[in-house]
Structure 1
């Protein structure tokens, strides 16, 4: 039997004894003999992957390999079904399926500060009228002249704020800031205004009322024919917005104002409520005592934003304030919201309501004597919702309460309402996607203009081509007056958009005018028988955009904020829809057009082009585009 040599013994043969011992499990080369090491000789986890050379063990030598592979889990092509998972995992996934996946869009979402968070792509637009004019309808050209505070098309947004300041010297009820001015707001539908009220009704003050201020509406100046007022609103629009004012008084008005709105990427981002806003109401200047007046009666779902009531009566007719306000929700037979008198509905009592109270109160008293006041209430902390119908009734007093000595009283009421369904879209605007009817970038060779394309008046300064623009040199003599450059060989449709970019280049002289000309005698648009939209330099720091019909000023607006606009490019455009014209301007590089106003012209000519009056000027292009109607 093989053994190890014994220390101190086996002299002379210890090597043979050791070899016999080693050869029991090793071959002559020193390798372990096949079959010597069995599973019982290897401790669990003793052999690691690092001890085994790659490809050293053939698959056939691995016991049970084929059976183990056959029995392993195979992932289905469509992924692991829930049924193959542990029950606990299945339960967790079921809860995840019904959990909130993302924060729903909502305009009510606010930051920790309480200010609203930004909607996707939201940016504010505020281009005020600075020292403009609102001419009366009797001034030439005769007819309504609608000063446009804001107009936007093609993108969703929200109208948020309107402010106006005016001066006409008229201290009577017929003044512009009282009953002599009208404001209209069009939301998505240019044919039907969502708001059409007199200036005093819109800003919720009674005729000739004094100053008052609240967080949402107020009159900040009144006296000497001067007035200023503001109102914050929330009026979403899908594609189209227009805010305009019209002077229906007998005096021209100096006007400042702005209608501020935001543009957003997607109308759906505002949520499913408060998607359309309108103001509805009723007026009865000769209401009989106790007469009922229906202020709102409309189907749909939505929310009441505000209510305001104006009363005009003799001092002794305090009984008119006993009239209740009744609001019927969803066709109910008895009003679920009603007051115990007029002033009670506005947080008042005993015929008294606090001036400038908020969210309910009244404007300051009127100055025409008697009982003349306006009450307002905003339903902010106590919103009134309706699902199918809303009806609001007011009353000129109540039987057996108070005294009404006069045979008639003035009573009116208005309600601001949000509805959940947006308005149908219907408006007309420039078609910027279709091919232009004319796209002249003024790339003709430098020198005299091509007579085949242009007609110029003889005996005056002539326009020249620079190779990329048309230039007119300054000439202060009669040669530089009434320069007209009319485009030939272009057939205009009934409706079109006309646009140019221009600048005044002479830095020395005042009284310079550079014009876009339309509706002129063909092919030469004479100044006295055409429409001009002009950039005018009255002085180095006094610039305006002016619209003229013949020699009659239709609109004018100061621009530049006191800057010197010499050599500053300005874009000017005119939208022609039959006899109705709307003028626009924009600083170069700004995509949003700023409207000046709309009016109906008596001009029927088809001549168009550019021109100057004692001005050094340059014109960059002349474009005519079609008008498109957007309906949905």
Structure 2
């Protein structure tokens, strides 16, 4: 990383941002309900090397789950990145939390978000964010730093990130974090668990990674907290390649966990396909928990990629038992409440 600083550069440093085009200090954009905001529409060849953003959306309940990122490379019709913004930055359940890792940080209680995953492209990069809430985003700020090249390698791998959820998980079936086809490298996982009414430790669930169509996984782990590089149950911690940004326990309905694991020094290559699963069980006592799981998978691969399944809609993505309950129409309908209760 530092070695590159001693070499002559072959690119021009560029930035796309929300700066005030009229010369003032109103360096933000508002996002109306249902509106898609274009953060960047870049002409290649180039490579995004860093982006920062912050949000003021106090009127939106769980806004971290209501705002969806979609990134497109080289005029593709289907996004290569599709995920709620909070989960992308390792804060699940619509919550905010600090994260300090090598590729992603969220500082000042999760307000200042940064991503250093490199995102190369040949012809065009289109980065958007959509407000899927019923209320407006008051302020959205961003800086996207990228490098403009005269030419770029023809065999580049493109950055991908996909959100999935299963509310609740299915008994007898592992939770699937990713199924992708093509050639590339798997580089990271964000996993969220919200406990249902059955108390107990879910974290003996092993990760299983199937490479290139194999029936038996080449990578079979020893437990959920082991995959996130800690031991003897999770706790909130941060490190360059792994951490738990949220840990509330596992014995009460609504207890929430978010862990992240980045395979930067240990990427998992595949040439045809990859499947990333994880158990949801306390196998020592032969228990299986059907809790509420959601995740983001990060990987690089050649294009074209298989289009993603439809992302669950905004209300389906809400936490089942939110930390701060706003008795809007969604929860009134869900719990059979009358207006004003």
Q: Using structure 2 for the length normalisation, give the TM-score.
A: 0.76
Distance 1:353 1:389, change over 3 A: farther
Distance 1:318 1:339, change over 3 A: farther
**1:258 aligned residue (131, 134, 143):** 143
The within-5 A match list for 1:12-411 is 112=3, 115=5, 117=7, 120-129=10-19, 131-137=27-33, 144-153=34-43, 155-170=44-59, 174-176=61-63, 178-207=64-93, 208-222=95-109, 227-253=111-137, 254-268=139-153, 272=155, 274-289=156-171, 291-314=173-196, 317-365=199-247, 370-401=254-285, 408-411=290-293
Distance 1:228 1:150 in 2: 19
Distance 1:401 1:162 in 2: 45
Equivalence for 2:313: none
Distance 1:228 1:366, change over 3 A: farther
Equivalence for 1:596: none
Q: What are the superposed Cα offsets for residues 108-137 of structure 1, whole Å, 9 maximum, x if unpaired?
A: xx664x648565334232433554233332
State the SS of the aligned residue for 2:216: coil
Distance 1:326 1:165, change over 3 A: same
State the SS of the aligned residue for 1:192: coil
State the SS of the aligned residue for 1:363: strand
Equivalence for 1:512: none
State the SS of the aligned residue for 1:298: strand
Q: What are the superposed Cα offsets for residues 121-159 of structure 1, whole Å, 9 maximum, x if unpaired?
A: 34232433554233332xxxxxx3212211113x21112
Distance 1:290 1:335, change over 3 A: same
What residue ranges of structure 2 are gaps of 5+ in the alignment?
20-25, 306-341
Considering Cα pairs closer than 8 Å and 6+ residues apart, tell me whether 1 or 2 has the greater RCO.
2
Superposition CA RMSD, Å: 2.9
State the SS of the aligned residue for 1:344: helix
Shift in Å, 1:165: 1.0
Distance 1:366 1:266 in 2: 49
Does the 8 Å contact 2:161/2:297 carry over to 1? yes
Distance 1:122 1:422 in 2: 25
Does the 8 Å contact 2:198/2:253 carry over to 1? no
State the SS of the aligned residue for 1:348: coil
Shift in Å, 1:209: 3.9
State the SS of the aligned residue for 1:233: coil
Shift in Å, 1:198: 0.6
The within-5 A match list for 1:567-582 is none
Distance 1:302 1:318 in 2: 37
Does the 8 Å contact 1:317/1:403 carry over to 2? no
Shift in Å, 1:278: 1.2
Distance 1:351 1:191, change over 3 A: same
Shift in Å, 1:279: 1.6
Distance 1:345 1:201 in 2: 18
State the SS of the aligned residue for 1:321: coil
Distance 1:415 1:147, change over 3 A: same
Q: What are the superposed Cα offsets for residues 498-528 of structure 1, whole Å, 9 maximum, x if unpaired?
A: xxxxxxxxxxxxxxxxxxxxxxxxxxxxxxx
Distance 2:38 2:83 in 1: 15
Does the 8 Å contact 1:290/1:320 carry over to 2? no
Q: 380-389 or 199-208: which moved more? A: 380-389
Distance 1:186 1:128 in 2: 19
Distance 1:118 1:288, change over 3 A: farther
Equivalence for 1:141: none
Distance 1:287 1:197 in 2: 19
What residue ranges of structure 1 are gaps of 5+ in the alignment?
1-109, 138-143, 425-632
Shift in Å, 1:302: 1.6
Distance 2:67 2:296 in 1: 17
